[in-house]
Structure 1
Amino acid sequence: MTAGDAGVPLRVVSYNIHSQRDDTAALAAVVREAKPDVVVVQEGPRRFRWRQRSAALAESFGLVVAAGGLPALGNLLLTSLRVRVTATRCQRFPLTPGRHLRGAAYAECVVGRDARFTLAGSHLSTDPVERPGQAALFKRELDAAATPVIAAADLNEEPAGPAWATVARGLTDAAVAMDRADRPTYSCANPRRRIDALLVDPRITVVGYDVVDTPQTRRASDHFPVLVDLLLPASG
């Protein structure tokens, strides 16, 4: 079997970094130790000097900025030099008066010779009335992708919720695929809810899933990072 037949490996981290309010040295160490190819960040820099702060965050992880930041309202896509980014776009969900602005970031990527995929990240509202509409807008973009999707998001609800069901429709839940759906991702102080999703196109094979719970991750943010190993289909 050739490497192309076996699939092209990709390591993904999805991480709500709590606006870097916690131990930033621990945060950088957590990501560097994971050695990801891509990191999907929620609550990344989105205000004053967001470009410089996003670049500094990426550098602390040993990665580069692919997309997001202020145009995606804090959703940030970071990649290693192994991943080539061919196109990016950002999305803002309609503002509900009195609520926070929310959005999403997308990047068209290639790894290896011809393994193409769409990387997407979002962070949905804490408001259960507002959240389903945002999920529908995010899902519409995922469904329109021309290449296999890898979607990582803080959905702010558990898998039984309607917004989660909308986003997950037709995709593989990496936690379920590895029989680890019982692992909470939030909060580090009182772990009891799985609200951070990593969802992939069925053509992508999930070969590993972990919610990284260590003393270091408990210092780094209020969410645990989700670490997933995938095999991507070659496009050729």
Structure 2
Amino acid sequence: MGAPGSGGVPLRVLSYNIHSQRDDTAALAEVVRTVTPDVVIVQEGPRRFRWRQKSATLAESFGLVVGAGGLPALGNLLLTSLRVRVLETRCERYPLTPGRHLRGAAYAECLVGGSRFLLAGSHLSTDPAERPAQAAAFKRTLAAATLPVIAGADLNEGPDGPAWRTVAEGLTDAAEAMDRADRHTYSCANPRRRIDGLFVDPRVTVVDYDVVDTPRTRQASDHFPILVDLLLPAAD
């Protein structure tokens, strides 16, 4: 998608699998604060004992506040700056397959600069047999939205996979929009796959896309974060 037009509302989005904060948490906070996002879509956030307090502490370390998610969304967490107002939230849990990890999604209807949008985040299974149904459940909610959608996810497969194609259908893959689909997001130790994606409504302009690969991101998690600058449609 091209350069921003007039009258749009800028939004900086970070989508990040933080590896359950098992790595260098000081580096993690530094990575996020350095890029000054308006919203962060977190995968593998706090989801167990004292998850509310842990989510708030994580958000504070980023200079943000909790918008939605946590335990009810099974670790998917939406964080926002004070520039973004959260109007409504929803959490979803995908059907449980016995013996597998629970997965889910978080959603928040947001307002920034007079422009409304739906922010969404999910983390699909590592099991290829489970992913298509989870992707379909995520997609049903995205497709039902009347607001412009911004969805970040760790899909645990690349763009050639069926789950990825399900989520991406009808949306703009931000990496492809900026001709940067060759940038790998996993793993930091051996980058060879793009399994993390940021998808936006066609009404949203992708201004820039980056996979943030620095010495600090390699210390902060096993995934690289995706940083995307967007232009939301101006309010009517």
Compute the TM-score of the two structures, normalised by the length of structure 1: 0.97
**Which residue of structure 1 aligns with residue 183 of structure 2?**
183
Distance in 1 between the 2:179 and 2:98 partners? 40
Secondary structure of residue in 1 paired with 2:6: helix
Aligned to 1:146: 146
Structure 2: give runs of 5+ residues left out of the alignment: none
Query: Which residue in the other structure is 2:40 paired with?
Result: 39
Whether 2:223 is the aligned partner of 1:223: answer yes
Match of 2:135 in 1: 135
Q: What is the CA distance between 1:6 and its match in structure 2? A: 3.4
**Does residue 1:68 correspond to 2:69, yes or no?**
yes
Two-structure CA RMSD over aligned residues (Å): 1.0
Residue 202 in 1 paired to residue 202 in 2?
yes
CA apart distance, 1:235: 2.7
Q: Where has structure 1 moved over 6 Å in runs of 4 or more?
A: none
Aligned residue for 2:121, secondary structure, equals strand
State the distance in 2 between where 1:41 and 1:92 align. 16
Cα distance in structure 2, aligned partners of 1:133 and 1:147: 24
Give the structure 2 partner of residue 6 of structure 1: 7
Matches within 5 A, 1:148-163: 148-163=148-163
Per the alignment, residue 51 of structure 1 pairs with: 52
Report whether the alignment pairs 1:120 with 2:101.
Answer: no
Does the aligned pair in 1 maintain the 2:7–2:234 contact within 8 Å?
A: no
TM-score w.r.t. the length of structure 2 is: 0.97
- Give the AA of the match of 1:33: T
In structure 2, the partner of 1:111 is 112
Give the whole-Å Cα distance in 2 for the aligned partners of 1:235 and 1:104. Answer: 27
Contact 1:4 1:234 survives alignment (8 Å): no
C-alpha distance in 1, partners of 2:6/2:31?
32
What amino acid is aligned across from residue 224 of structure 1 in structure 2? F
Equivalent residue number for residue 79 of structure 1:
80
2-structure distance, mates of 1:162, 1:235:
35
Task: Give the fraction of aligned pairs with identical amino acids, expressed as a percent.
Answer: 82
Alpha-carbon deviation of 1:5? 3.4
Q: CA deviation at 1:127?
A: 0.4
1:4 Cα deviation (Å)? 8.8
Matches within 5 A, 1:93-104: 93-104=94-105
Q: How much does 1:234 deviate?
A: 1.5
Corresponding residue for residue 213 of structure 1: 213
Looking at structure 1, the residues matched to 225 and 99 of structure 2 have their Cα atoms a distance apart, in angstroms, of: 29
Structure-1 separation of matches of 2:13 and 2:80: 9
SS at match of 1:5: coil
Q: Distance in 2 between matches of 1:45 and 1:146?
A: 30
State the one-letter code of the partner of 1:40. Answer: I
| Structure 1 residue identity aligned to 2:52 | R
Whole-Å separation in 1 of the counterparts to 2:218 and 2:116: 34
2:189 & 2:13 partners in 1: Cα distance? Answer: 24
Indicate if the aligned counterparts of 2:9 and 2:231 stay in contact, CA closer than 8 A: yes
Q: Distance in 2 between matches of 1:168 and 1:44?
A: 23
**2:169 corresponds to which residue?**
169
Question: How big is the shift at 1:49?
Answer: 0.4
Tell whether the 8 Å contact from 1:4 to 1:233 is kept in structure 2 after alignment. Answer: no
In structure 1, stretches of 5+ residues that fail to align are none
| Cα distance in 2 between the residues matched to 1:47 and 1:24 | 18
Contact 1:30 1:217 in 2 (8 A): yes
Looking at structure 1, the residues matched to 7 and 187 of structure 2 have their Cα atoms a distance apart, in angstroms, of 36
Amino acid at match of 2:94: F
